[in-house]
């Protein structure tokens, strides 16, 4: 059979259904589903995503078969709606709506009121007896069509960077100002008519082509434009951030228009079936009387609350739909229940009321904060609507990050006065310097990856997504809880406040004045956002973490029922270890011994280490090491105690020694005195340790090969700490990990020391033996290739994927800032391999090492301790390779637990 390109929906029938998202896009599939549920949906048809692929494959030409199929479908829509497209007396109008598989809010284009032209306008005026409505619809069509179809889709570069939409918007504003109008609704029919005519001549002048006055041509143009918008700049950026594949394409939905702009008994709105910020089981939304389409989302007018539950400081004076149209509200609320029972998930819906008649225009699974995602999953589970497995799959692992997100320390927050208030659109808190454009936000982070900026905008639009992604927080002066900024920020779990109406932004001077005060915020000023409350403060308020949320704790218990792979943490202080344990870590996968020489309390051990490093003879070195020993043992013992009953992997000293050589004259003099030599001699010994490529220099296991006494005291500290804890009735499980190995001989030489010390300590404590696993970090490609030999001595492998990635790519971890962005921008690499395992390349090495290692020792324990251990995709990869555990930083432990459980569920375990 010839391939079907067009799928019809309307009046309780549909060719498609909800699970056909790949073919029909999310919007088309759900429109079909709502029709099948018997909900009031204006009839229409969906042109498939495959046609989009065909269109691009075909050099941006629609396949010849398409338009005849479209017109045939249109005939059926005409029958269902009782109107005719392009008819002078009873004209049907349509919208051309984009709709990809996964939702991309506002990233692609939609054109409304298609079909209005010289032949149809008089008929529609006569039929509706509402010229104002017709001319309002027409001027909207001209604006949207010129922007989407005639400019963007044609790839025209706007003169002086000002697109046609902007030019027409300014013209409209200018006109309103000249008349003293505040709202669009004040403009009269005749004025709208004149405006539309003016718009058309402006379009002609700016774009060089006439606005098409032919209904059929408008539809074809609309379909093409929607396809084109798949490759618009903002859609491409959004896909990159969200990881949506380019080849998916968008569908086009051509749908009969219904009108929210026919007067005061008409309206349009958007809603969530549950609260998307908190997850509460309350209907949540915004609406606007006498408005069309995107007026709600675009922040043109402050939207009114849907109901009592949606009222807040900013909108409580406005009439809710519950109050103004109680009957229609009831109908909408009933639809909410039908949808909730049917989809068993929180949905985001769009509706329009045409002269008191309610129509559903869209539904999709709604974006939510991580906190809401957990709450919603737990609620549906408790309502008996979903099972535990489904609940586990309902939360994206990376979203848990924001559940653990820092919030303002409440005690500190109390001491600050609120600078300005807005709506709490995205969770958690953020502290950063203000920037006024998306470009500035991107530039700041490009310059310094750790830069913390808050993006301050009048309102955001889809062009801003990259800057929004780069910022730690987003603040807007306009827009509601369903505005673009709010939707996108919530999807990302980013702190966001919208609609802070007292901010008067001047983009030219990059300043914002706060109404009713003399305060003027400038670029670079530090502010704190509390996105959970919608409060903005001047200066930096200290943040704290928010992990003891009871729903979260309960949820994680269910998650662990399905998890089969272990999750450990990388930690080296008792504090980190304790936090990770609270987050559910089942051990430490990487304890970096050298950590005791940095930061708090490191003065004395560092001094002794320096003394040891700068020693000239073994005797001198042993003296220094003996002095250092108690510190090393104490550190190890404390950690074993915090992790009592759980394994702790101690890594032998890893960094090149010269990193610790004192640089200041004063410190050099101190060490000189302790060693009884001159300061010059100390400086000289320090210089002698200098290496031209320390990353590949004298470090890791190599230190112990040349100075076995360094290895020996560390091993002794581990055994003695363990023996002491055993005596105290504790259950320590130490593991020794040898770093930077490339040959089994290195493991063998070190093992001799290990066995000798083990026997000595056992004897000293009068026990037969002390258990400690002996293993190695796998971080050099050669070790992967020779894993069968490494496993002869090693009882476990732990992949150090940071170094393994560095050595496989030959990319210096510390220098990638200079070139990695180019690789990502040019799509030469799909992702930063230091954040997510390069499965294709580095992944082969890991797989090989696992297979070869286990061929030698079938119970070889294998884990990973690179930062990628907390990345959901990497966790799934590790699961597939049969790793025993992943180890990651404390805050990512819950993410790894969820990702591991989801991997197990996906694998049908």
- Contacts with ligand ADP by CB under 6 A lie at 42, 95, 97-98, 106, 110, 112, 255-258, 268, 293-294, 350, 352, 361-362
DSSP E strand boundaries for 398-472: 407-408, 420-421, 423-426, 429-435, 453-457
Asked whether 648 and 865 are in contact (CB, 8 A), the reply is no
Pick 130 or 805: Cβ nearer Mg ion: 805
Least CB distance to ligand ADP at residue 106 (A): 5
Partner that binds at residue 800, options ligand ADP, Mg ion, none, CB closer than 5 to 8 Å by kind: Mg ion
Radius of gyration (C-alpha) of the chain in whole angstroms: 32
Instruction: Report, in Å, the least distance between residue 866 CB and Mg ion.
Output: 9
Which one of Mg ion, ligand ADP, none interacts with residue 838, CB within 5 to 8 A by kind?
none
Tell me which of 464, 466, 712, 803 binds Mg ion, using CB under 5 A: 803
What does the alpha-carbon distance between residue 522 and residue 520 come to, in Å, rounded to a whole number? 6
Token pair listed for 748: 């063998």
Span near Mg ion by CB under 5 A; candidates 346-354, 431-439, 849-857, 865-873: 346-354
- Pick what 112 binds: Mg ion, ligand ADP, none; C-beta below 5 to 8 Å, kind-dependent: ligand ADP
Give yes or no for residue 44 binding Mg ion (CB under 5 A). Answer: no
Window contacting Mg ion (CB under 5 A); options: 511-519, 570-578, 642-650, 773-781: 773-781
Shortest Å distance, C-beta 31 to Mg ion: 11
The entry of Mg ion, ligand ADP, none that residue 268 binds, CB within 5 to 8 Å by partner kind: ligand ADP
Smallest distance, Å, CB 228 to ligand ADP?
15
What does 146 interact with, of Mg ion, ligand ADP, none (CB < 5 to 8 A by kind)? none
Sign of CA dihedral 603, 715, 580, 869: positive
Residue range at the interface with Mg ion (CB under 5 A); choices 126-134, 361-369, 581-589, 766-774: 361-369
Q: How far apart are CA 899 and CA 370, in angstroms?
A: 14
Query: Which of ligand ADP, Mg ion, none interacts with 41 (beta carbon under 5 to 8 A by kind)?
Result: none
Shortest distance (Å) from residue 90 CB to ligand ADP: 17
Q: Are 856 and 848 in contact (CB under 8 A)?
A: no
Measured CA to CA, the distance from residue 620 to residue 709 in angstroms comes to 11
How many residues lie near Mg ion (CB under 5 A)?
5
Q: Which of 261, 268, 362, 573 binds Mg ion (CB under 5 A)?
A: 362
91 binds, among ligand ADP, Mg ion, none (CB under 5 to 8 A by kind): none
CA angle 319–321–322, rounded 5-degree value? 100
Helix (H, G, I), strand (E, B) or coil at 362: strand
Both structure tokens of 817: 């800032």
Residue 527: name its binding partner from Mg ion, ligand ADP, none (Cβ under 5 to 8 Å by kind): none
Closest separation in Å from C-beta 362 to Mg ion: 5
User: Least CB distance from residue 229 to ligand ADP, whole Å?
Assistant: 10
Selected range binding Mg ion among 343-351, 570-578, 683-691, 863-871, rule: CB under 5 A: 343-351
User: Site map for Mg ion, 479-518, x if CB under 5 A?
Assistant: ----------------------------------------
Among the listed ranges 73-81, 149-157, 355-363, 840-848, the one in contact with Mg ion (CB under 5 A) is 355-363
Residue 290 makes contact with Mg ion by CB under 5 A: no
- Which one, 272 or 733, has the nearer CB to ligand ADP? 272
Residue 440 interacting with Mg ion (CB under 5 A)? no
Residue placing its CB nearer to Mg ion in the complex, 340 or 779: 779
Nearer to Mg ion, 54 or 735 (CB): 735
Q: Could you confirm whether 658 is annotated as catalytic? A: no
What's phi and psi for 463, nearest 5 deg? Answer: -65, -20
686 binds Mg ion (CB under 5 A): no
In the complex with Mg ion, the residue whose CB is nearer, 596 or 642, is: 596
Q: Tell me which DSSP letter residue 3 carries.
A: P
Give the shortest CB-362-to-ligand ADP separation in angstroms.
5
Rounded CA separation 787/794 (Å) = 10
Between CA 777 and CA 201 the distance in angstroms is: 71
Which residues, other chains included, contact 820 with Cβ-Cβ below 8 Å and sequence gap of 6+? Answer: 811, 829, 832
Q: Which residues pair with 421 in a beta bridge?
A: 535
Distance CA 852, CA 865 (A): 19
Output the residue with the shortest Cβ distance to Mg ion: 803
Q: CA–CA separation, 38 vs 687, rounded Å? A: 81
Distance of CA 868 to the CA centre of its chain: 16
Q: Is 800 in the site for Mg ion (CB under 5 A)?
A: yes
Nearer to Mg ion, 488 or 546 (CB): 488
Q: How far apart are CA 515 and CA 848, in angstroms?
A: 64
Among the listed residues 616, 603, 606, the one whose alpha carbon sits nearest the alpha carbon of residue 684:
616
Decide whether 294 or 402 has the Cβ nearer to ligand ADP. Answer: 294
> Has 865 been annotated as catalytic?
yes
147 contacts which partner out of Mg ion, ligand ADP, none, CB within 5 to 8 A by kind?
none
Residues in the chain: 909
Q: How far is the CB of 364 from Mg ion (least distance, A)?
A: 8
Please choose, out of 203-211, 360-368, 688-696, 839-847, the segment that lies near Mg ion by the rule CB under 5 A: 360-368
- Among the listed residues 35, 495, 496, 865, the single catalytic one is 865
- Distance, in Å, from the CA atom of 145 to the CA atom of 94, rounded to the nearest integer, reads 13
Question: Within 10 Å of residue 271's Cβ, how many Cβ atoms?
Answer: 26
Annotated active-site residue in 96, 117, 484, 784: 484
State the minimum distance, in angstroms, from the CB of residue 307 to ligand ADP: 19
Choice between 140 and 852, CB closer to ligand ADP = 140
Minimum CB distance to Mg ion smaller for 290 or for 362: 362
Asked whether position 231 contacts Mg ion by CB under 5 A, the answer is: no
By C-alpha distance, which of 81, 45, 78, 67 is closest to 251? 45
- Cα separation, 117 vs 850, in Å, equals 68
- Whether residue 94 contacts residue 219, with contact meaning beta carbons closer than 8 Å, is answered with yes
Please report, to the nearest 10 degrees, the dihedral formed by the alpha carbons of residues 461, 466, 472, 475 taken in order: -10
How distant, in Å, are the alpha carbons of 541, 741, 770 from that of 748? 53, 11, 19
867 binds, among ligand ADP, Mg ion, none (CB under 5 to 8 A by kind): none
Q: How far from chain centre, in Å, is Cα 529? A: 19
Identify any residues that bridge with 435 across adjacent strands, giving them in sequence order: 455
- Least Cα distance to 880 among 908, 852, 860, 841 occurs for 908
Residue pair 86/98 in contact (Cβ under 8 Å)? The answer is no
- Minimum gap (Å) between residue 350 Cβ and ligand ADP: 4
Q: Which does 528 bind (CB under 5 to 8 A by kind): Mg ion, ligand ADP, none?
A: none
Question: Would you state the structure tokens that stand for residue 135, as one six-digit string?
Answer: 């001319």
Q: Count CB atoms within 10 A of the CB of residue 155.
A: 10
Catalytic residues, by residue number, are 484, 865
Tell me which residues touch Mg ion (CB under 5 A). Answer: 350, 362, 779, 800, 803
């Amino acid at each position: 059979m010839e391939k079907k390109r067009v799928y019809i929906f309307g009046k309780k029938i549909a060719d498609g259904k909800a699970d056909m998202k790949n073919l029909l896009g999310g919007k088309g599939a759900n429109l079909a589903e709502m029709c099948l549920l018997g909900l009031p949906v204006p009839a229409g048809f969906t042109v498939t995503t495959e046609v989009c692929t065909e269109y691009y494959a075909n050099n941006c030409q629609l396949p010849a078969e398409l338009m005849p199929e479209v017109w045939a479908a249109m005939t059926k829509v005409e029958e269902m709606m009782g109107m005719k497209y392009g008819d002078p007396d009873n004209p049907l109008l349509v919208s051309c709506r984009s709709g990809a598989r996964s939702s991309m809010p506002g990233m692609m284009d939609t054109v409304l009121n298609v079909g209005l032209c010289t032949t149809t306008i008089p008929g529609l005026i006569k039929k509706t007896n509402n010229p104002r409505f017709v001319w309002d619809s027409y001027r909207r069509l001209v604006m949207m069509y010129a922007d989407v179809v005639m400019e963007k889709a044609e790839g025209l570069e706007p003169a002086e960077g000002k697109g046609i939409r902007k030019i027409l918007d300014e013209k409209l504003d200018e006109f309103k100002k000249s008349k003293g109008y505040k709202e669009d609704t004040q403009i009269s029919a005749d004025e709208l008519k004149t405006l539309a005519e003016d718009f058309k001549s402006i379009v002609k002048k700016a774009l060089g082509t006439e606005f098409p006055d032919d209904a059929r041509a408008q539809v074809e143009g609309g379909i093409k434009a929607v396809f084109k918008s798949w490759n618009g700049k903002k859609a491409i950026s959004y896909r990159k951030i969200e990881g949506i594949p380019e080849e998916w394409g968008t569908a086009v939905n051509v749908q009969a228009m219904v009108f929210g702009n026919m007067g005061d008994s008409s309206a349009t709105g958007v809603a969530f079936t549950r609260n998307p910020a908190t997850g509460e089981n309350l209907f949540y939304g915004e609406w606007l009387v006498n408005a069309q389409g995107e007026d709600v989302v675009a922040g043109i007018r402050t939207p009114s609350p849907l109901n009592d539950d949606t009222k807040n400081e900013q909108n409580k004076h406005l009439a809710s739909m519950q109050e103004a149209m109680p009957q229609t509200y009831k109908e909408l609320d009933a639809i909410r229940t039908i949808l909730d029972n049917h989809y068993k998930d929180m949905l985001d819906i769009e509706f329009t009321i045409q002269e008191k008649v309610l129509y559903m225009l869209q539904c999709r699974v709604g974006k939510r904060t991580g906190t809401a995602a957990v709450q919603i999953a737990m609620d549906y589970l408790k309502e008996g609507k979903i099972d535990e497995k489904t609940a586990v799959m309902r939360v994206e692992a990376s979203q848990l990050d924001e559940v653990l997100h820092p919030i303002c320390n409440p005690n500190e927050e109390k001491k600050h006065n609120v600078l300005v208030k807005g709506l709490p659109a995205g969770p958690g808190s953020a502290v950063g310097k203000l920037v006024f454009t998306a470009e500035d936000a991107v530039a700041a982070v490009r310059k310094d990856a750790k830069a913390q900026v808050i993006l301050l905008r009048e309102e955001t639009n889809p062009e801003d997504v990259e800057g929004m992604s780069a910022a730690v927080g987003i603040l807007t002066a306009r827009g509601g809880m369903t505005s673009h900024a709010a939707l996108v920020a919530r999807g990302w779990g980013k702190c966001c406040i919208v609609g802070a109406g007292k901010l008067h932004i001047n983009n030219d001077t990059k300043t914002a004045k706060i109404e009713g005060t003399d305060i003027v915020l400038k670029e670079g000023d530090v502010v704190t956002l509390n996105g959970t409350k919608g409060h903005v403060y001047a200066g930096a308020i200290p943040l704290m973490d928010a992990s003891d949320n009871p729903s979260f704790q309960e949820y994680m218990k269910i998650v662990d029922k399905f998890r089969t792979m272990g999750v450990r943490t990388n930690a080296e202080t008792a504090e980190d270890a304790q936090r990770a344990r609270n987050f559910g870590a089942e051990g430490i996968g990487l304890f970096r011994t050298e950590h005791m020489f940095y930061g708090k309390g490191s003065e004395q051990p560092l001094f002794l280490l320096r003394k040891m490093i700068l020693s000239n003879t073994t005797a001198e070195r042993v003296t220094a090491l003996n002095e250092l020993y108690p510190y090393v043992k104490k550190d190890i013992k404390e950690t074993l105690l915090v992790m009592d009953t759980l394994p702790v992997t101690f890594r032998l000293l890893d960094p090149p020694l010269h990193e610790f050589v004192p640089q200041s004259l004063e410190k050099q003099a101190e060490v000189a005195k302790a060693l009884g030599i001159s300061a010059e001699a100390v400086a000289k010994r320090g210089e002698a340790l200098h290496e031209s490529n320390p990353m590949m220099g004298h470090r890791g296991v190599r230190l112990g090969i040349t100075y076995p006494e360094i290895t020996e005291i560390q091993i002794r500290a581990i055994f003695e700490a363990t023996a002491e804890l055993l005596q105290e009735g504790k259950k320590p499980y130490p593991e020794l990990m040898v770093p930077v190995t490339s040959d089994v001989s290195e493991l063998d030489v070190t093992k001799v020391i290990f066995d000798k010390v083990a026997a000595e300590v056992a004897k000293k404590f009068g026990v037969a033996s002390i258990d400690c696993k002996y293993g190695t970090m796998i971080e050099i490609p050669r070790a992967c290739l020779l894993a069968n030999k490494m496993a002869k001595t090693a009882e476990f492998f732990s992949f150090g994927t940071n170094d393994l990635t560095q050595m496989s790519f030959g990319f210096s971890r510390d220098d990638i800032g200079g070139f990695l962005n180019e690789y990502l921008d040019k799509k030469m690499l799909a992702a930063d391999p230091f954040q997510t395992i390069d499965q294709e390349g580095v992944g082969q090495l890991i797989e090989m090492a696992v297979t070869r290692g286990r061929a030698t020792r079938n119970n070889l324990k294998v884990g990973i301790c690179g930062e990628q251990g907390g990345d959901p995709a990497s966790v799934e990869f590790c699961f597939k390779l049969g790793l025993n555990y992943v180890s990651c930083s404390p805050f990512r432990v819950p993410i790894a637990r969820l990702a591991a459980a989801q991997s197990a569920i996906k694998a049908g375990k």
